[in-house]
Structure 1
Amino acid sequence: MKLLLTSGGITNDTIRAELTRLLGKDIADSDALLIPTAQWGQPACSPQSVWRTTSGRSSGRAGLVDLGWRSVGILELTALPSIGPERWTPWVRDADVLLVDGGEAVYLAHWMRESGLADLLPALDDTVWVGVSAGSMVLTPRIGDEFVDWRPGDGDRTLGVVDFAIFPHVDYPGWTENTREKAREWAARMPHRAYAIDDATAISVVGGAATVVSEGHWEKFPG
């Protein structure tokens, strides 16, 4: 699987060009599935915010579904255990890209395991994963207690698909808990290397190698 781990989505031409490179073809020739599940675990989200994401009307940031895809479908992970893998697995395998929206990363990790999607990821060699905020953080080993809003007993642990942590939305206007200083304090507590990225930055991962693509601000912290 090829990963494009963003803070705010496809927010500029540099990140969009990297998405096209990972796809290996134009966005207009690609089929996408949107995963909005993480929003249900985040107290700041609502049915209205889910609708804004799925309809492409997320104000104040780049959308996911309105990039010009050939087709877009919704994959709600909480529904998958009730219909069985023989039905939903072909949908995932046929998609060129999974668009994984933000919300609560621990909650998202739980439903990726419960649904079976986490087990399927290693077989999706050519699929691109585009994460936004928690949709990116879910693939890291841990997210830090300050980002946990859903606590079933697993602490801040997520899936560990990549070997680094992500602090998103650095210096986002009005978010006093997302300053660069807060990011450095967070990184000092993480047991592995980490990145702090703003909404104009993404981390591209292919074959385990991570590359930062950015028109904004970011910082890397050694483990």
Structure 2
Amino acid sequence: MKLLLTSAGVTNTSIRDALVKLLGKPIAESSALCIPTAQYGHPMVGPGVRAWQFISGNSENPMVDLGWKSVGVLELTALPSIDEERWVPLVREADALLVAGGDVLYLCHWMRESGLADLLPSLSETVWVGLSAGSMVMTPRVGEDFIQWRPSTGDVTTLGVVDFSICPHLAADGLPGNSMAEAEQWAAGIPNTAYAIDDQTAITVVDGSVDFVSEGRWERLRSLSSDPEQP
């Protein structure tokens, strides 16, 4: 699977160009499925209006409204109640999965419960476009600062598709988002490599190669391996 891990969606030309490169063809020739599941688990996001806004392309985070050839909805909470042959082919045929933000552990739980997590290794050409929690779910852990909902098992690990953690929504002091001081405090509790990215930044991961696409700011806060150098 090819990853485009964003803080706030496809917010600028550089991130859009990176998406097209990952797709290998224009967005207008590509199909997508949007996954709103994370929104339902977060007390400040859903359910309700914001879930509809994301699905309909009327949110403030450009993902569904980029001009796709087709867009469908993949609601993970529904998948355990229907046969796999009804939804697995849809996932395999999609060029991109557009994954909304919200509660990361809620999303991770339903990715595991639905079987989507087990399917990911076989989706070698699919592009995962994550927004905030939709990006963080691919990391090994998110830290206590980002935990709202907890599964009954008590498991607070995430999928670990990548070996680094992400603090999204990096913002200047006094602006909405996470300040650098807050990001540094968060990183102190993360035992692996950790980055903070703002809403104009994305991380691409292809075959283990990690690159940053940014018209804003990103910072490496903790490093335990050979990581991309801050420009």
Matched, 1:107 2:106: yes
Shift of 1:155: 4.8
Report the TM-score when normalising by structure 1. 0.96
The one-letter code matched in structure 1 to 2:119 is L
Q: How many residues end up aligned between the 2 structures?
A: 220
State the shift of 1:187 in Å: 1.0
Equivalent residue, structure 2, for 1:151? 150
2:65 maps to a residue whose letter is D
Q: Which runs of 5+ in 1 are unaligned?
A: none
- 1:154 Cα deviation after fit: 3.0
Superposed displacement of residue 156, structure 1? 3.2
Residue number in structure 2 paired with 1:53? 54
CA displacement at 1:62 relative to structure 2: 3.0
Q: 2:134 and 2:212 mapped to 1: Cα distance?
A: 17
Contact map agreement 1:37 1:108 (CA 8 A) in 2: yes
- Summarize deviations over 1:149-179 as a string: whole Å, max 9, x none: 1012435311111100000001176436x10
Aligned to 1:160: 160
Answer 1 or 2: which has greater helix percent: 1
| 1:46-76 C-alpha deviation (Å, 9 max, x unpaired) | 2110001111111xx3321110000000000
- Give the structure 1 partner of residue 229 of structure 2: none
Which residues of 2 match residues 33-72 of structure 1 at below 5 A? 33-46=33-46, 47-58=48-59, 61-72=60-71
Distance 1:146 1:110 in 2: 18
Q: TM-score, normalised on structure 2?
A: 0.92
Residue 5 of structure 1 is matched in structure 2 by 5
Distance in 2 separating the partners of 1:52 and 1:154: 31
Separation in 2, partners of 1:216, 1:55: 27
2: distance between equivalents of 1:71 and 1:164? Answer: 32
1:38, CA displacement in angstroms?
A: 0.2
SS in 1 for 2:170: coil
In the alignment, the residues of structure 2 paired with residue 72 and residue 13 of structure 1 have an alpha-carbon distance, to the nearest angstrom, of: 21
Structure 2 CA distance for aligned equivalents of residues 45 and 132 of structure 1: 13
Distance (Å, rounded) in 2 between the aligned partners of 1:215 and 1:169: 14
**CA distance in 2 between partners of 1:21 and 1:91 (Å):** 22
Matched, 1:181 2:181: yes
